[in-house]
Amino acid sequence: MLETHIQKGWIWSSLTLKTLNQNFQFKGMFNKQAEQLQAEIRNDAEFLRNKRNAEKIKENLKPYIHEYQAYIQQNIYLSYRLSNLFRSDLSQRSKALVEQFNNLIQRDSSFAFDPPLQNLFEQLRQFIKLPIEANYAIDAKNKRFVESELKAFQKFFDQVENTPLTDEQRISSIIFEDRNLLVAAAGSGKTSTIVGKVGYALLTGLYKPEEILVLAFNKNAGDELTERINFRLKDILAQFNTRVEALNFHKFGVRVIGKATGKSPSVSNDAGKPQSLLNKIIQQLIETDPDFQAKYLLFKTAYLRPPLSPFAFKTQSEWEKAHRRSFDRFKDGYETYQGEIVKSHGEKAIANWLYSQGVPYKYEMSYEYDTANENYRQYKPDFYLPEINLYLEHYALDQHGRPPAHFGQKYLDDMKWKSGIHQQYKTDLITTTFHEFITGSIFKKLEQELKSRGQVFKPRSLPEINEKAKSIYEYDANELYASFLSHYKSNQANITSLLAKPSLSQREILFLQLFSKVYQRYDQLLKNSKEYDFDDLLIESAQLINENRYKSPFKLIIVDEFQDTSQARAWTATTLLDKFRLFFLHRREHYEWTT
Phi, psi angle pair for 12, to nearest 5°: -100, 155
Rounded CA separation 486/177 (Å): 31
Among 276, 575, 311, 303, which Cα is nearest to 442's? Answer: 303
Q: Does residue 130 sit in the same domain as residue 151?
A: no
pLDDT of residue 2: 63
- What does the alpha-carbon distance between residue 357 and residue 460 come to, in Å, rounded to a whole number? 6
Instruction: Give domain status of residue 481, yes or no.
Output: no
Contacts of 45 (CB under 8 A, 6+ apart): 2
Q: Flag whether 513 is in a domain.
A: no
Determine contact, residues 225/194, Cβ cutoff 8 Å. yes
pLDDT, tens digit only, all 595 positions of the chain: 467 777 776 767 776 777 777 777 777 777 777 778 667 767 666 666 767 777 888 889 899 999 999 998 899 999 888 888 888 899 999 999 999 888 888 888 887 888 889 989 988 888 888 876 667 888 889 999 999 999 999 999 999 999 999 999 999 999 998 877 777 777 778 889 999 999 999 999 999 999 999 988 778 888 899 999 999 999 999 999 999 988 988 899 999 999 999 999 999 999 888 999 999 999 999 999 999 999 999 999 999 999 999 999 999 999 999 999 999 887 899 999 999 999 999 999 999 999 999 999 999 999 999 999 988 999 999 999 999 999 999 999 999 999 999 999 999 999 999 999 999 999 999 999 999 999 999 999 999 999 999 999 999 999 999 898 888 888 788 899 998 998 899 888 999 999 999 889 999 999 999 999 999 999 999 999 999 999 999 899 989 988 889 988 888 888 887 665 677 777 777 777 655 555 554 443 322 222 2
Task: Give the span between the Cα atoms of 345 and 348, in whole angstroms.
Answer: 5
Beta strands per DSSP E along 296-344: 334-335, 341-342
**Is residue 40 in a domain?**
yes
Tell me, yes or no, whether 120 and 101 share the same domain. Answer: yes
Q: Which domain holds residue 353?
A: 306-472
Same domain, 244 and 360: no
The response to whether 312 counts as a known ligand-binding position is no
| Burial of residue 585, with CB atoms counted within 10 A of its CB: 0-12 exposed, 13-18 middle, 19 or more buried | buried
Residues 6+ positions from 528 with CB-CB distance below 8 Å: none
Alpha-carbon gap, residue 190 to 71, rounded angstroms: 32
Examine the domain organization and report whether 262 and 316 are in the same domain. Answer: no
C-beta of residue 268 within 8 angstroms of C-beta of residue 533: yes
Half-sphere CA count of 57, side-chain side, radius 13 A = 22
What total of structural domains would you count in the chain? Answer: 3
188 assigned binding-site residue: yes
**Residue 253, marked binder:** no
Q: Cα(551)–Cα(566) distance, rounded to whole angstroms?
A: 24
Of 454, 472, 490, at which residue does a domain stop?
A: 472
* Residue 28 assigned ligand-binding role: no
> Is residue 478 situated within a structural domain?
no
pLDDT at 589: 31
Domain co-membership, 334 together with 468: yes
- DSSP characters for 79-145? -HHHHHHHHHHHHHHHHHHHHHHHHHHHH-GGGSPPHHHHHHHHHHHHHHHS-GGG-HHHHHHHHHH
Residue 33 belongs to a domain: yes
* Measured CA distances, 7 to 4, 122, 402 (Å): 10, 47, 94
Which of the listed residues 420, 440, 472 is the one where a domain comes to its end? Answer: 472
Q: Would you list the DSSP string of 35-82?
A: HHHHHHHHHHHHHHHHHHHHHHHHHHHHHHHHHHHHHHT-SS---HHH
Domain-located, residue 509: no
The two beta strands, 428-433 and 23-30, are unpaired
Rg value, the chain, Cα: 39
DSSP string of 364-419?
Answer: SPPPSS----SS------SEEETTTTEEEEEE---TTS---GGGHHHHHHHHHHHH
Q: Judge whether 595 is annotated as a binding position.
A: no
N- to C-terminal Cα separation, the chain: 56
Task: Tell me, yes or no, whether 292 lies in a domain.
Answer: no
351 is known to lie in a ligand binding site: no
Q: How far is CA 1 from CA 17, 18, 52, in A?
A: 11, 8, 14
Task: Give the whole-angstrom CA distance, residue 330 versus residue 409.
Answer: 32
The b/e string for 210-245 (b: 16+ C-beta within 10 A; e otherwise) is ebbbbbbbeeebbeebbebbbebbeebbeeeeeebb
Residues 84 and 121 in one domain: yes
Of 514, 54, 461, 72, the C-alpha closest to 296 is 514
Give domain status of residue 25, yes or no.
yes
> Given this model, what pLDDT does residue 265 score?
95
Predicted pLDDT of residue 568: 75
Per DSSP (E only), the strands in 450-570 are 556-559
Q: What is the C-alpha separation between 310 and 394, in angstroms, rounded?
A: 14
Contacts of 532 (CB under 8 A, 6+ apart): 265, 266, 267, 268, 271, 526, 540
- Give exposure, 116-137, as e/b (b: 16+ Cβ within 10 Å): ebeebbebbbebbeeebeebeb
- Of the candidates 531, 562, 540, which has an alpha carbon nearest to the alpha carbon of residue 252? 540
Q: Give me the pLDDT at residue 171, please.
A: 95
Domain boundary among 472, 501, 527: 472
Q: Which amino acid is at 517?
A: K
Closest residue by Cα to residue 128 from 178, 83, 78, 82:
83
- Same domain? For 363 and 464 the reply is yes
Length of the chain: 595
CATH code at position 560: 3.40.50.300
CB-based contacts of 568, cutoff 8 Å, min separation 6: 489, 490, 535, 538, 539, 542
Residue 116 confidence (pLDDT)? 87
Type of residue at 416: K
Q: Is 542 annotated as a binding residue?
A: no
Do both 241 and 387 map to the same domain?
A: no
Would you state the torsion angle of the CA atoms of residues 131, 134, 140, 145, taken in this order, to the nearest 10 degrees?
60
406 shares a domain with 367: yes
Residues 381 and 331 reside in one and the same domain: yes
Distances (CA, A) of 292 to 246, 362, 464, 465, 517: 44, 30, 18, 16, 8
Query: Is 186 marked within a binding site?
Result: yes
Whether 394 and 460 share a structural domain: yes
CA angle 71/77/79 to nearest 5° reads 80
Question: Which pLDDT value is given to residue 17?
Answer: 72
Cα separation of 150 and 523, whole Å? 53
Do 144 and 130 share a structural domain?
A: no
